Amino acid sequence: MLRVTGLRTEIATGTAVVVAVDGATFAIAKGETFALVGESGCGKSVTALSVMRLLPDNARVGGGAIELDGADIVVLPEARMRDLRGRRVGIVFQEPATSLDPVMTVGAQVVETIERHTSRRGAAARERAVDWLRRVGVPEPERRFHNYPFELSGGQKQRVMIAVALAAEPELLIADEPTTALDVTIQAQILDLLRELQAENGMALLLITHDLAIVSQMAHRIALMYAGQVVETAAASTFFSRPLHPYARGLFGALPDMAKRGHALEAIPGTVPALDRPFTTCRFADRCFAVRPECRMGEPELIRIEDGHEVRCVLYRPGAAPGDMPVPGVALPGSLSREREREMSDAAFRVPLSGGRRETPGVALPGPLSRVAGEGGGEGAGGRNTAPLLEVSDYRVHFPIRTTGRWGTTHGIAKAVDGVSFRLEAGRTLALVGESGCGKTTTGKAILQLLRGKARIGGQALLDGEDLGAMAADALRRARRDMQIVFQDPHASLNPRMRVAEILEEGLLALRPEIDAAERRARTEALMETVGLRPDARFRYPHEFSGGQRQRIAIARALAVDPRLIICDEPTSALDVSVQAQILNLLRRLQQERGIAYLFITHNFGVVEYLADEVAVMTAGRIVETGPAQELIEHPQDPYTRRLLASVPRVRKPY
């Protein structure tokens, strides 16, 4: 149905031309699911936008062909493309917050697709739109039909975006991270719906994702991309039983799970190279654990291993001995050592700050901000700090429901959070899990007092015994030195008019004014290296980054002021597994060295298994089950918890 041959997509910047996709070749048959996987910034989304002819003005298809049923769509006039988009080829964009029209109700946006590409009109189109909202798991679809996007949670917006893409029942669906913002139950529901449509209509699916568990469940064939190139293609069963490229093997080694608790994940060091220059060596060589001298003697070509399985690596040239390839984590000459990787991650916190200084042997930490795990408070058995850093008691967040219009009146109360209680000690991680819309994010925002004046808040949230809700503005500003948040949607939480350097320094200027300009710059540069961003990214704006790269900026901003408590709202949902491993290693190490506490809001149970000490399961504004992470995951008691865990996709690892 779709054949992409030698695709080359170029993006013109102010000083150079970025080759975002360089020679990509693949084909998708009717009824087939083809997965495109790889790191953030490797060219997956640009490939999708090239197929849809939705590239920005400064980008163009510079070579190759894109054929849909034999017709080259690169040369189609725009009028023909408008008929093709939506009806024959649909797309689920990566960020629903930016792809949904903010001044149209969600129902109107689904109806628009139905009326443009089908014969249904008026009431019939509206009825069909409500049915699609119901099928993708939007709660109360008749009422949500009239809501605007800002009135929905991140996961609910993602479901609406999927409904818009599926409303005309396209022949080919391009799904760019379609389940990133969804909890596991709705994710399972969406994946079942996609399988159903494939069975009924023979719909082809181009699945772009970094979630290998989803790929293992859905894909028939896989293409692995790195730095704009396809580096391995294989049938899904082959890829998951015998991955060949060192990058593929590294991705499997970076996956978090219960077996790796207490140990650093095998993160792939370094970052994807800049694509604004010609390459004369293997693009993965600087990060590869199996690098050899011949890797730097020219770009490797795709090598056919067997029918349908190709790999771009010198280890598989005729006469090579790939069986000698080591496992991930073993550093060879020319690659970054584990010690160097640790140095890179620690660098952001070795910048001296003005003021008094407390030195911890073997650990260089910023002066007045320094802490070690267990410092302060009472000590329990084994030396563990038992005094809660954060204590939440009978917490309630109720939103008034108002009629629309200028003189809208309140006619009800939405109980987003209804009597939540938990404790979080310094140096511990509490994972708050549950379906989208259950109140997890609202709980985090309310604790940080970000909903004052917008909702009725009851109960108490105590930070070191001090009631956050009773604090005046000056006291709350001082308290915010100790508590930060990583928001779920990095696009909405990063100021589009500020460069990355300004974004990272903003918190220091507001909350740590004693730090001078030179120290701020040194600290922010080191933070960027820590989260895997190149130094030249300091001078770029948020819109110039991929979704995963924006999330890294948001994490660096939260870490900049050295908080004691970080509320992490889906901090790794937009990250591929290699960067996720870097971030999880960083968070784990900071917790060990500084006693930082994390309230981790997530639907990624691999992350929960690896990082969380305790888990609280939330539904409909209430916590229904809490307990130690391993005990709760292996022996859930509440029926809702059992249903939630039954929906978790699992990836079969090759080793």
pLDDT at 338 exceeding the cut of 90: no
82-95 confidence digits (pLDDT tens): 889 989 999 998 77
Q: Domain 385-398+419-646 falls in which CATH fold?
A: Rossmann fold (3.40.50)
Query: What is the 3-state secondary structure of 578-635?
Result: HHHHHHHHHHHHHHHHHCCEEEEECCCHHHHHHHCCEEEEEECCEEEEEEEHHHHHHC
pTM of the model: 0.76
pLDDT at 355 exceeding the cut of 50: no
334 and 346 Cβ atoms separated by less than 8 Å: no
Beta strand pairing status for 33-38 and 221-226?
parallel
Burial class (CB in 10 A: 0-12, 13-18, 19+), 448: buried
**Amino acid at position 98, single letter:** T
Give the model's pLDDT for residue 167.
93
pLDDT at 62 exceeding the cut of 80: yes
Report how far residue 551's alpha carbon sits from residue 94's, in angstroms, rounded to the nearest whole number: 13
Report how far residue 267's alpha carbon sits from residue 254's, in angstroms, rounded to the nearest whole number: 5
Q: Residue 570: count other Cβ atoms within 10 Å of its Cβ.
A: 27
Give me the mean pLDDT over the 544-565 stretch.
Answer: 85
Give the model's pLDDT for residue 356.
33
Cα angle, residue 302 at apex, residues 296 and 307 outer, rounded to 5°: 150
Q: Which residue has the higher pLDDT, 481 or 189?
A: 481
Domain ranges of the chain: 247-340, 385-398+419-646
Query: How many percent of the chain have pLDDT more than 70?
Result: 87
Report how far residue 16's alpha carbon sits from residue 378's, in angstroms, rounded to the nearest whole number: 58
Instruction: Tell me phi and psi for residue 2, to 5 degrees.
Output: -120, 130
Beta-carbon contacts of residue 411 (< 8 Å; ≥ 6 apart): 401, 402, 403
401-410 confidence digits (pLDDT tens): 776 555 556 6
Q: Which of 428, 368, 22 lies closest to 228 in space, CA to CA? A: 22
**Amino acid at position 141, single letter:** P
Strand residue runs (E) in 83-203: 89-92, 172-176
Report how far residue 111's alpha carbon sits from residue 145's, in angstroms, rounded to the nearest whole number: 10
CA dist list (Å): 281 to 60, 301, 314, 543, 635: 25, 11, 11, 30, 50
Give the model's pLDDT for residue 352.
33
489-532 confidence digits (pLDDT tens): 777 889 999 999 999 999 889 888 888 899 999 988 888 887 77
For the chain, give the mean pLDDT.
Answer: 84
